[in-house]
Structure 1
Amino acid sequence: MSAANETILHIDLNKLEQNFNYLKAKLNPKTKIIGVVKAFAYGHGDVKISKKLEQLGVYALWVSDFEEGLILRKSGIKTKIMVANPGIKSYSKIIKYKLDVVLYNHKLLDLYCSNKNEVGVHIKFNTGMNRYGFNPNEVESIISKIQHNTHLNLDSICSHLAASEDKNKTDFTLKQIDNFKSISQKFELLLGRKIDKHLLNSHGVLNFTDYQMDSVRLGIGLYGSTSDVNLKQISCLTSVITQIRDLERGDSVGYGTSFIAKEKMKIGIIPVGYADGMNRQLSNTIGSVFINNYKCPIIGKISMDSFAIDITKCKANEGDLVEIFGDQLTVSEIVKKINTIPYEIYSTLNRRIKRVYSDS
């Protein structure tokens, strides 16, 4: 642990390994795992997480843009890296650092066709999410271009599920799966060979295991914030009380004087704010933290670098440890209070927060 840092994200790589193995056990022996480490590995630190996944034998790593891939390569990662949104301007860097590209429109495909460097290519189709992806009626033109450009090493085709976590939308997910199956069959028929296919994400593996195909992409499941109790949250965010104040009845707290004390009370100030990823919707008793196993509500509006808590009924001192999320208060519990998702909580954690890793 860092002796100098007050606010720390503790990351348990052993729990990451347990989650990896739990999800892997649901797969066929030959199904490959693509570890999703975009957005700084969902806030957990992309290099450390990627090195652990590489050690565990992950087939590939999935990042958002070329810069994320470049960071991993420069850090010594040898595993295949797939760039989900390679962009038009990053071609030379992608080639130099031997990154694979996910191509989802003809502008990108034409760019990689016209430049003759060998590169790993993955073709993405839209099956109903209506975000990135070629349309199903573009299969013939895609294959024609690939067959006339042998420097493109076509590794896989893929798509993305929009609602695999929602069992009330099973019909929609099954329709997406059927769409992808139809696209895949046509693609392989025209290509004249089998090709790797991947569609399932973490919730897809948990809820639609029968459709795992050749590979799966695991993200939030690795970090442990799903409805499956067997997957354990791998991180814990802690800070300390940096100041304690006594309030009189009528005193206000924070910007906008949104909290007014109704009686004498004691408050603690915590040096974490919305600049660190502390969601402002947790202000004014919506959110809480734990100190010495006691639940203390957040009062007033969360500031850029700090927030206040009510410690009137809690025996607390300056310097005491504060659990913002962890064993006593999970991220999954927090997001229910503010109608958001774990992805948002994790990915907005500022990199100025110290990350400390354990692997025992």
Structure 2
Amino acid sequence: MKTYDLSYISGIIHAKAVGNTNFKITYLSNDTRRIIDGLNTLFFALKTNTNDGHKFVLSAYNNGVRCFVVEHLPDKAAEMPEACFLIVENSLTALQILATAHRSSFNIPVIGITGSNGKTIVKEWLYQLLHRRIEITRSPKSYNSQIGVPLSVWNIDSNTRLGIFEAGISMPGEMAALEKMIQPTIGIFTNIGEAHQQHFTSLEQKASEKIKLFAHSDIIIFNRDNEIINKTVSETTGLNTFTWGYQEGCDVRILSIYKHAQNTTVHINIHSDHHRFEIPFIDDASIENVLHCLATCVYLKQEMNETIEGIQQLKPVEMRLFWKKAIHNSYLINDSYSNDLNSFKIALDYLYQQRQSNKLTVILSDVTESSTGNKAIYEQVVRLLKDGRINRLIAIGEQIARFRSLFENEGISTSEYPSTEAFIQALPGLTFNNENILLKGARRFRFERIANILELQTHETTLEINLTAITHNLKAYKNLLKPSTRLMVMVKAYGYGSGDAEVAKLLQFNHVDYLTVAYIDEGIALRKAGITLPIMVLNVEESGYNQLEQYNLEPEIFSFHQLNNFYSYCLQNGITQQGIHIKLDTGMHRLGFLPEETEALGKKIQEQNILFVKSAFTHFAASEDPDEDDFTHLQADLFIKSCNTLEEQIGYSFIKHCCNTAGIERHPQYHMGMVRLGVGLYEGNKKLPGGETTIPVGSLKATVAQIKHLQEGDTVGYNRRFKATKPTNVATIRIGYADGLRRSLGNNVGEVFINNHRAPIIGSVCMDMCMIDITNIPANVGDTAEIFGMHIPVKEVAQKCQTISYEILTGIGQRVKRVYIEE
């Protein structure tokens, strides 16, 4: 990494420096949770629609950061005597100016990639095809935004011989800044589609905005058969092109594409030379992405035989990190598809974020960039391990073994093995207990064999929880709120079936204000898992009063009987200023104080002078129903009047909240001091008022146990509810009503998604199994079927069961293995 003097950076971004500028800067950060080396990090306090980085300056300072780019001095600047503040007009603009200056200091070829889909896949496959012969710096994950691009470009250093960076935009006018930072010499325009369309009037307008990335590029590579892109390129002056497609005149001309069961044969012509080869994919998107990569390799004059060999070895880009239960009460992140420094940093962040204990172990292979055993690479690995608080390193490979002393000198317990086989042979004698394990290895080490041994072998039915989707949905709802409105998130009922501790850790990571659980034991479990956020408990029994104080939990109080009992407990145990939350009943008529009881309630709380009202809230009975809006308005009016009465009696104000998920979406005038987000965080496929669409969080999946070929007249399942009227192929999958698959989905009511097809559930759903009709659907034993998820919305399943999504999500059995993924 290149290092700059802070005084030099101050001049580049035209900042007013307050404090000592005698610092060296190697890293940039806008996130206190991802600080690698505080003393050498420059923290940018960025303002977004949902947050203000200035609030986290003190936290960054406490993490060792001393250098900050801010738009004003933070409130607690006096508590940071060693800090240097670079004051600028706009901190995001300053970040982009700095990244632009850094990029300009390197005269290297850079590939810029834009398009509606496929950017990350094309980038990663190009890396797979090219990295063996050239040192590459590329965007980590899909860092392609106004913030992600400068952080990506900053990774270019003196070893970089080729840069590959993505650029994504969501509205007109954004591409100019990205073009200045990336300065691509080679452009790839993948495709144009509906993604992020809400701020564009047409696909043509979006294409004309995206192509601005290539304003100064030497060449643009694209599919000439794409009419919109081809038209946009032809109407843009000054662009040199290198094209692929079926049309005559393409630099890489497709003669034929033929799909087989497991792969695709492609026949192309390049300057009268014919080439026929296999692609290890059959879906159209993958074929398109491969051809973008092929054309790029041809343009770069890589040997055709080398390119074709590389294409045949391409692996699906695993865009997600899996968090699974492992042996001996441990947890495992399996990230064994690549091992370069960028992805290693991301995996370490995820390990620390989701840790269940402080015992952190990394199983690491030779690093991809270190084919020559570069000591500087492993010095960076040591720094990452140290800053990630890793206790134990298991090093696998001949290169990494040479640098064992680097790790041990930093106090990291290290053991080494020359190969994966040697480690597997030694595994029976090794101890793993209550640990958090990151498995990070280059593909050639085949670490999936280690994962198979370490993973806890349980029921093959899984509920995949997409933590990235939760983050997306959370931000989408935050965008609907004013900065002053706090956010309480419901994690009761095992996080709506998604897992309470795991989801709560992510919510804490994303700075929500409050969590809510149904019962005390749920709150205790969160505290034991390391959750420090305020937690409101909805249903508190007298037997659990002592645990409220012990675990710093805050009860909901909904009746005078409960209030008096809790007050007596606090009085007897010398507890003062115990926070409580008052439930007001404005029309739901489930729990809560009625409006006419509010004055007496306030007087009693004031007289007792022990219980402190943290918030008061009510629950809208029908906030999702436009036909009931008059009643919702009535509830809100009663709530406001009741809160005013309560405040008059107790003599102080408190947080007020009445909006549930539907209230957040439909009644912004009632957001007040806080809102409560529930099923909206988890359900997905909902378009919000701001134009964003939520993503399904959970995917319930089961594997095929057996396939049978039935003849006309054969029957299936209990009571012979299905009778074949023609030759029928039936697959039995490993999920039943004990797992949460409702019996009402049997007999052709429900469907599953398998191998890009919907298959009906036939016969009666059994306790542990169900049967599906796969006639005309290619399937094999071991294939995975989705019960709900990205292809079959949980809301659709609920409607077929004549219930609501809540019931489906919370009904997933505990024996179903939860797998947590981050994309």
Aligned residues: 360
| Equivalent in the alignment of 2:713 | 250
For residue 216 of structure 1, report the CA deviation from its aligned partner: 0.6
| Equivalent in the alignment of 2:607 | 148
Dislocated runs of 4+, deviation >4 Å: none
User: Separation in 2 of the partners of 1:359 and 1:322?
Assistant: 21
Counterpart AA for 2:510: L
Q: 1:70-109 counterparts in 2 under 5 A?
A: 70-109=524-563
| Equivalent in the alignment of 1:158 | 617
Greater RCO (Cα-Cα under 8 Å, separation 6 or more) = 1
Counterpart AA for 1:87: E
User: Separation in 1 of the partners of 2:685 and 2:664?
Assistant: 12
| Equivalent in the alignment of 2:481 | 27
Is the counterpart of residue 329 in structure 1 residue 788 in structure 2?
no
Paired residue secondary structure (1:90): helix
| Equivalent in the alignment of 1:120 | 579
Task: Work out which of the residue numbers 219, 223, 245 in structure 1 matches 2:678.
Answer: 219
Q: 1:1-360 counterparts in 2 under 5 A?
A: 1=322, 3=452, 4-5=457-458, 6-116=460-570, 117-118=575-576, 119-225=578-684, 227-228=686-687, 230-360=693-823
8 Å Cα contact 2:542/2:566 also seen in 1: no
User: Separation in 1 of the partners of 2:579 and 2:653?
Assistant: 16
User: Separation in 2 of the partners of 1:73 and 1:323?
Assistant: 33
For residue 225 of structure 1, report the CA deviation from its aligned partner: 3.4
Larger Rg: 2
Counterpart AA for 2:671: Q
8 Å Cα contact 2:518/2:539 also seen in 1: yes
For residue 252 of structure 1, report the CA deviation from its aligned partner: 2.0
Q: Which 10-residue stretch deviates more, 332-341 or 201-210?
A: 332-341
| Equivalent in the alignment of 2:76 | none
User: Separation in 2 of the partners of 1:324 and 1:21?
Assistant: 27
User: Separation in 2 of the partners of 1:296 and 1:358?
Assistant: 26
Deviations along 1:211-251, one digit per CA (max 9) or x if unpaired, are 10101110111113364261111121111100111222222
8 Å Cα contact 2:605/2:650 also seen in 1: no
Paired residue secondary structure (1:329): coil
Q: Which 10-residue stretch deviates more, 272-281 or 113-122?
A: 113-122
User: Separation in 2 of the partners of 1:226 and 1:127?
Assistant: 31
For residue 325 of structure 1, report the CA deviation from its aligned partner: 1.1
Flag structure 1 segments of 5+ consecutive residues without an equivalent: none
Q: Which 10-residue stretch deviates more, 35-44 or 11-20?
A: 11-20
User: Separation in 2 of the partners of 1:289 and 1:90?
Assistant: 43
TM-score (norm 1): 0.96
For residue 18 of structure 1, report the CA deviation from its aligned partner: 1.2
For residue 106 of structure 1, report the CA deviation from its aligned partner: 1.4
State the Cα RMSD in Å. 1.5
For residue 263 of structure 1, report the CA deviation from its aligned partner: 2.2
For residue 16 of structure 1, report the CA deviation from its aligned partner: 0.8
8 Å Cα contact 1:113/1:146 also seen in 2: no
User: Separation in 1 of the partners of 2:659 and 2:635?
Assistant: 11
User: Separation in 1 of the partners of 2:611 and 2:503?
Assistant: 29
Flag structure 2 segments of 5+ consecutive residues without an equivalent: 1-321, 325-451
User: Separation in 1 of the partners of 2:653 and 2:716?
Assistant: 64
Counterpart AA for 1:83: V
TM-score (norm 2): 0.43
8 Å Cα contact 1:294/1:314 also seen in 2: yes
| Equivalent in the alignment of 2:41 | none
For residue 19 of structure 1, report the CA deviation from its aligned partner: 0.9
User: Separation in 1 of the partners of 2:683 and 2:773?
Assistant: 30
8 Å Cα contact 2:683/2:795 also seen in 1: no
User: Separation in 1 of the partners of 2:744 and 2:636?
Assistant: 36
8 Å Cα contact 2:603/2:649 also seen in 1: no
User: Separation in 2 of the partners of 1:330 and 1:347?
Assistant: 15
User: Separation in 2 of the partners of 1:133 and 1:256?
Assistant: 48
8 Å Cα contact 1:268/1:310 also seen in 2: yes
User: Separation in 1 of the partners of 2:626 and 2:686?
Assistant: 12
Q: Which 10-residue stretch deviates more, 188-197 or 212-221?
A: 188-197
User: Separation in 2 of the partners of 1:120 and 1:195?
Assistant: 11
Paired residue secondary structure (1:115): helix
